[in-house]
A and B are shown apart, each in its own frame.
Chain A
Amino acid sequence: MKFDDLLKDAWQGQTHSDMQQDLTRRVRRHQRRLRLLRTTEVVLTVIAVLVFGLALLSGRVDPAHWLLMPFFVVFLPMAWTIVLRAPQRHATDATGSTSTYARLRLAQLRSGLRDLWLARTTAWLLLAYAVVASAGVWLLAGEGWRGAALALLVMAVASLGATVWLSRRLRQRWLREYRAVQRLIGG
């Protein structure tokens, strides 16, 4: 038997053990997972907006609101920028030829890597704001403000930790994909 025929036989021999599984059910499951994720993000944002919006509208703005509001005014748009601009594949992108898709994907990944840098910088700036605000509160303000300052500091540290962790994971993945796709074009 010729080498090419052997390769063809071996290629055709690869079958899925679960070939009869309903494809529609799999796609719908994937869609549900994506919708659930997006719903969670929207719900969290709405809760944050409601908490601060109601406080402002009712006029009952306590120290915690004053200290945390600037933090969330920066944090929420930054988080949404990352979520919405992440280099996710849009369905139509993958229908073009491989070389077209590869160029598009490289541009998306470059933009995603820039956004990660922006997210890390913002998280560090928010921590700096939290440290300065907390120091001011401990030196100048009364007892009522100290609890709020501590909450702000904890939130800023948590936000920085989460951003650095997430950014490192995504950055490694996107860089590996970037190199793989770049080799595809270069070859």
Chain B
Amino acid sequence: MHPIWPQVKAFHPHLWRAVCGYELNPAVRDELLQEVLFVIWESLPRLRDPDMLLPFVLRIAHNLGASHVRAETRMPSPVPFDDTLHDVADPATANACARTQWLFEALATLPLNLRQVLMLRLEGFDYQEIADMLGISAENVGVRLHRARERLKALSKEEGIP
């Protein structure tokens, strides 16, 4: 096992969000995450600067996500919801969950080149870091980010998302 591998665990939430940005089906998300983790495991010896672990693992996740093709899997059949048997979340939490679900569904409608830039920006990277990860110019990152944001804004207005 590579000595840095245990540190990858700290970035599991980042990797999971990246995977969710490319795939909406929960079963296929897990498969894609597994593939991403496998490739990270295999490529860790190529990492020169351990401080760059997060960009390194996210670059792999976004590359695999971009070329990921939705597998034809059956969605699990829905189970009827019974609020007497289940704990119901408070309205604030339910609202936050709904917004998260809306965001990932809205991301799926964006073209890949806009989606990648927006996801990396939401992860907290600056223009230059995103440009290095994607192999494009920082100006191009700005343009794509602006377009992605405008599309999401328009979509949220259309759907009345607060």
Q: Do A and B bind each other?
A: yes
Interface of A toward B, CB cutoff 8 Å: 3-4, 6-11, 13-16, 19, 23-24, 26-27, 29-31, 89, 91-102, 105, 173, 176-177, 180-181, 183-184, 187
B106 CB to nearest chain A CB (Å): 9
Which residues of chain B are near A173, meaning CB under 8 Å? 69
Total A-B residue pairs with C-beta atoms closer than 8 Å?
Answer: 132
Quick check: B69 and A13 within 8 Å, CB to CB? Answer: no
Q: What CA separation (Å) do A30 and B41 show in the bound complex?
A: 11
Nearest residue, chain A, Cβ from B104: A14
B109 within 8 A of A: no
Quick check: A94 and B34 within 8 Å, CB to CB? Answer: no
A110 CB to nearest chain B CB (Å): 14
Identify whether the interface residues of B are mostly helix, strand, loop, or mixed.
helix
Q: What CA separation (Å) do A101 and B149 show in the bound complex?
A: 26
Which residues of chain B are near A101, meaning CB under 8 Å? 63, 66-67
Instruction: Out of A13, A23, A94, name the residue touching B64 (CB < 8 Å).
Output: A94
Q: How large is the interface on B (under 10, 10 to 19, 20 to 34, 35 or more residues)?
A: 35 or more
Quick check: B113 and A181 within 8 Å, CB to CB? Answer: no
Q: What CA separation (Å) do A184 and B86 show in the bound complex?
A: 43
Q: What CA separation (Å) do A26 and B123 show in the bound complex?
A: 24
Quick check: A98 and B17 within 8 Å, CB to CB? Answer: no
Q: What CA separation (Å) do A96 and B135 show in the bound complex?
A: 9
Q: What CA separation (Å) do A14 and B20 show in the bound complex?
A: 8
Q: What CA separation (Å) do A13 and B123 show in the bound complex?
A: 12
Interface of B toward A, CB cutoff 8 Å: 1, 5, 8-9, 12-13, 16-17, 20, 34-35, 37-39, 41-43, 46, 56, 59-60, 62-64, 66-69, 96-97, 99-100, 102-104, 111-114, 116, 119, 122-123, 132-136, 149, 152-153, 156
Q: What CA separation (Å) do A97 and B116 show in the bound complex?
A: 12
Q: What CA separation (Å) do A16 and B152 show in the bound complex?
A: 24
Q: List 14 A-B contacts (CB under 8 A).
A: A3-B156, A6-B99, A8-B122, A14-B100, A91-B42, A94-B43, A94-B63, A96-B135, A97-B134, A102-B63, A102-B67, A180-B69, A184-B113, A187-B113
Quick check: A27 and B37 within 8 Å, CB to CB? Answer: yes
Q: Are A11 and B135 also in contact (CB < 8 A) when A94-B60, A184-B66, A184-B112 are?
A: no
B145 CB to nearest chain A CB (Å): 10
Quick check: A23 and B113 within 8 Å, CB to CB? Answer: no
Using A7-B149, A19-B16, A23-B8 as known contacts, list a sample of 16 further A-B pairs with CB atoms less than 8 Å apart, ordered by residue number in A: A3-B156, A8-B122, A10-B96, A11-B17, A11-B103, A11-B122, A11-B123, A13-B99, A26-B37, A94-B43, A176-B69, A180-B66, A180-B69, A180-B112, A181-B66, A187-B112
Quick check: B34 and A98 within 8 Å, CB to CB? Answer: no
B92 CB to nearest chain A CB (Å): 12
Which residues of chain B are near A98, meaning CB under 8 Å? 59, 62-63, 66, 116, 133-135
Instruction: Out of B46, B64, B149, name the residue touching A4 (CB < 8 Å).
Output: B149
A169 CB to nearest chain B CB (Å): 10
Which residues of chain A are near B113, meaning CB under 8 Å? 183-184, 187
Q: Are A13 and B97 also in contact (CB < 8 A) when A180-B69, A184-B113 are?
A: yes
Which residues of chain A are near B41, meaning CB under 8 Å? 27, 91
